[in-house]
Amino acid sequence: MPPSDFTHPEVDVRRRQLLAAALASPAALAMPRARAANEKLIVGGLPVTCNLTLPIACQARLGRGPSPFGYAKFSGWPEVKESLMTGRIQAAYMLAPLVMDLVDSRIPLKIVSLGHRSGAVIMVRTDAPYRSFRDLRGKSIAIPSRFAVDFLFLRKMLARAGMSPKDITLIEMAPPDMPAALYAKAVDAYCTGEPFGAAAQRAGYARPLAMTRDEWRNYICCVLTVREDLIRADRPLVQELVDHIQSAGHWLDSGPTNRDKAAHIAASRTYFGQDPKIIKFVMDNPADRVTYGDLRMIRAEFDELMQLSIEAGTLKRPIAYERYVDESFYRNIQPVPIPL
């Protein structure tokens, strides 16, 4: 059956114009809107299971009374990037290499927590003859962005097969559009985070060719990122957010009952607005398709991402770890209850 829950690819011209305008306006980057003293901190995220700790943290905090932070759903990385750059939001889940690039461009951001591990897949049609990456030579493969760690995963798999991105046709595409594109045979494969692989697999017309759980166990892509002006203005709030994110990760990995609850919470209109059966499919098939319990900030892993990004041409030069990471919040974590 066709993937009715997902839209077909389209070009959002207005979005690109807004992003270009933001990049061209140093004044906009230097003068973010100040957050009022009692104003809720809006944390941006995408409806992907690599971001699942965010809605769980937000929902858990609501269980203890009015929350100082809340979730805002974005449809793609360009919107999140622009909103953080201009200060319209002060915190978001972001692609780690994209944060490195923005910091290299003097955008004042810091990574303060991981959000997940693993969770990326490379999908092909069930009826396709592809059994190895060598079979994809000359084929078209969709990726979310050249800054996405999914792209680095794809490069790793191609290299193991003695290939490079020059041997395929790369297409940048919003992840929600990928299942429909594969169903329509507009692409031969796609590489992305969940649940957009699981959606096509559960519908029966796609299968994983590779999963990070098997090929890159310490894979990370989405990281909690905040503006430095927020850290200066309200360090305790950032610490509370990190405490909830880290505790949500431990809660998610503590058993299948919690994962089942998480699927229904995240699927609600307040958060992802998706079919809970698809999110639950990700949680169960297999159980370590995405993991959340180990959210340690490990410098060597960020160094690996940076080197891979430089080799991929998405970063121009190395960026000092201390410029884009603030470990102090992770070092000072105080576990909090997740009453869900």
Q: Which structural domains are found in the chain, ordered by start?
A: 39-118+219-331 (3.40.190.10), 120-215 (3.40.190.10)
pLDDT at 27: 37
pLDDT at 37: 58
- In 3D space, the residue among 246, 194, 183, 248 whose CA is nearest the CA of residue 219 turns out to be 194
CA atoms 307, 217, 249, 84: torsion sign: positive
CB 177 within 8 A of CB 7: yes
For residue 323, which phi and psi values (nearest 5 degrees)?
A: -75, -30
pLDDT at 34: 55
pLDDT at 64: 87
- What angle in degrees, to the nearest 10, is found between the helix axes of 13-23 and 77-86? 30
Angstrom distance (rounded) from CA 150 to CA 185:
21
Cα 218 from chain centroid (whole Å): 15
Task: Quote the radius of gyration of the chain (alpha carbons, Å).
Answer: 19
CB 337 within 8 A of CB 258: no
pLDDT at 75: 85
Per DSSP, the three-state class of 210 is strand
Provide the residue type at 256 as one letter: P
Residue partners of 56: CB distance under 8 A and separation at least 6: 248, 251, 252, 262, 265, 266, 338, 340
- In 3D space, the residue among 307, 259, 308 whose CA is nearest the CA of residue 280 turns out to be 259
Per-residue pLDDT 10s for the chain (340 aa) are: 444 343 333 333 333 333 344 344 433 444 455 555 578 999 999 999 999 999 999 999 998 889 999 999 998 888 999 999 999 999 999 999 999 999 999 999 999 999 999 999 999 999 999 999 999 999 999 999 888 999 999 999 999 999 999 999 999 998 889 999 999 999 999 999 999 999 999 999 999 999 999 999 889 999 999 999 999 999 999 999 999 999 999 999 999 999 999 999 999 999 999 999 999 999 999 999 999 999 999 999 999 999 999 999 999 999 999 999 999 999 999 999 999 9
pLDDT at 258: 97
